[in-house]
Amino acid sequence: MVSLKPFKGTRPFNEDAINIIAPSTDHLSEENIDLISNKNYWNYLKILNPVGQLKESETLLASKNHFNEMKKNEVIKQDDRLSFYIYQISQGNHTQLGFLALANINDFLCHKIKGHENTQEKRMNERANQMTNIETQIGPIYTSYPDDNKINELLESFTSLVPDYDFESFDHSHHKLWCISNPKDIKMISKQLKSINSLYIADGHHRMEAMNIISQNYKKQKNNCDSFMIAAFPAEQTKIYDYNRVIKDLNGLSEGDFLDKLKENFKVTISDSSFKPKSKRQFGMYHHGKWYSLEFIGNFPDENDILSLLDINILNNYCLIPILGIKDINNDERIRFIAGCHGLTALENKVNKNYDSVAFSIFPSHIEEVMRVADNKLTMPPKSTWFDPKPLDGLVVYEFNQDN
């Protein structure tokens, strides 16, 4: 059982939520981020990324001052009562319904809360410094839990109420939030959530590791900060887009030689239109103004190797590494990653700007694959999952002081 509990969230009070929440930089250019930050004085971007080329100490001070100003002016306000927050996100024909709650760092350390990505120490420490500075977690760690009909039914029962927040975000996703503080409801939700034995981190691995750093630092000072805020959604409702690749050149090969090498492990067919894979072991490829479908026909050295069976590693192990010479997926300057939410046109546009380049469209990873990797304490290949839509930063934030 994962330990989950209600908390006193800090949320928009005398200001519309849309003016406060920090938009995901995944969907916005730096120019648009600056525009939103300048247009909405109270936006959390001023805390997450203060405007101006400030030194680190000045940046942290600017963040802290802005956060304190928001609280002083009651732009945001901490709830008086312990609450669970029922959270619905819709985008297009997709809807996911989950909740915000506090989890415990010990469940992460005991592998009840499981990640699937490697993390970088620099980013972890930056996140930890950012949150320690204001003693607050602005954005939840996005998690998934195994499907549970009873939890789904309970959460849905609250959606008949008028939501406390109901608005469209910058990326055109629609967000509704119900703040549940009635003691009877809290007890009922707490009881039902005890059926969750594992949580799987979808997005927020660096934030998770940062909370672990913060917890350990607090303990050294004989304080307590063992809780952290999660947004949890059922696995079947978690949407993962494909994460596609563009390679700058053919690694010195002619087009003919490149296609011949591909045919050793793939059935290569010219497509009349852009090709989006419809099943596992299928890939699309765009080069010299033409789309191809690729179907993997090679053999796996070990059919029980979880990582080798992932589509992203099929492309890595049978094309990008041996043929195109991409040895370091994370750091090679010849590779670019484009999320599937931007469509196949984004791949075409990128390749058309550099005629020698080649793009690959990939079938999206499934949440069950991610969970299987996490269960076995393995990590997904770099840039293999793009979860969207995501919970918003700044809709509900968690101030550490209530945990002491």
Q: What is the DSSP string of 236-263?
A: GG--EE-EEEEESS-TT--HHHHHHHHT
Q: How far is CA 132 from the centre of its chain?
A: 22
Q: Are 389 and 239 in contact (CB under 8 A)?
A: yes
Q: What is the pLDDT of residue 330?
A: 81
Q: What is the pLDDT of residue 53?
A: 45
Environment class of residue 327 by beta-carbon count within 10 Å: exposed (0-12), middle (13-18) or buried (19+)? exposed
Q: What is the pLDDT of residue 221?
A: 85
Q: Are 136 and 60 in contact (CB under 8 A)?
A: no
Q: Tens of pLDDT along the chain (404 residues)?
A: 999 999 999 999 999 999 999 876 555 666 666 777 778 899 998 888 665 445 566 788 889 999 999 999 999 999 999 999 999 999 999 999 999 999 999 999 999 999 999 998 998 998 999 999 999 999 999 999 999 999 999 999 999 999 999 999 988 899 999 999 999 999 999 999 999 999 999 999 999 999 999 999 998 887 889 999 999 999 999 999 999 999 999 999 999 999 999 999 999 999 999 999 999 999 999 999 999 999 999 988 777 789 999 999 999 999 999 999 998 888 899 999 998 888 999 999 999 999 899 999 999 999 999 999 999 999 999 888 889 999 999 999 999 977 54
Strands (E), 123-198: 136-137, 141-145, 165-168, 174-180
Q: Are 276 and 344 in contact (CB under 8 A)?
A: yes
Dist CA 21 CA 63 (whole Å) = 15
Q: Report the SS3 class of residue 191.
A: helix
Picking from 402, 398, 403, 391, the residue whose alpha carbon sits closest to that of residue 138 is: 398
| DSSP 8-class letter at 319 | I
Q: For residue 241, which amino acid is it?
A: Y
Tell me which residue has tokens 């913060």: 214
Radius of gyration (C-alpha) of the chain in whole angstroms: 23
Write down the pTM of the prediction: 0.91
Contacts of 91 (CB under 8 A, 6+ apart): 171, 172, 173, 174, 388, 389
Two structure tokens written together for 127: 């996140």
Structural domains in the chain, CATH included, are 4-239+388-403 (no CATH), 241-387 (3.30.1760)
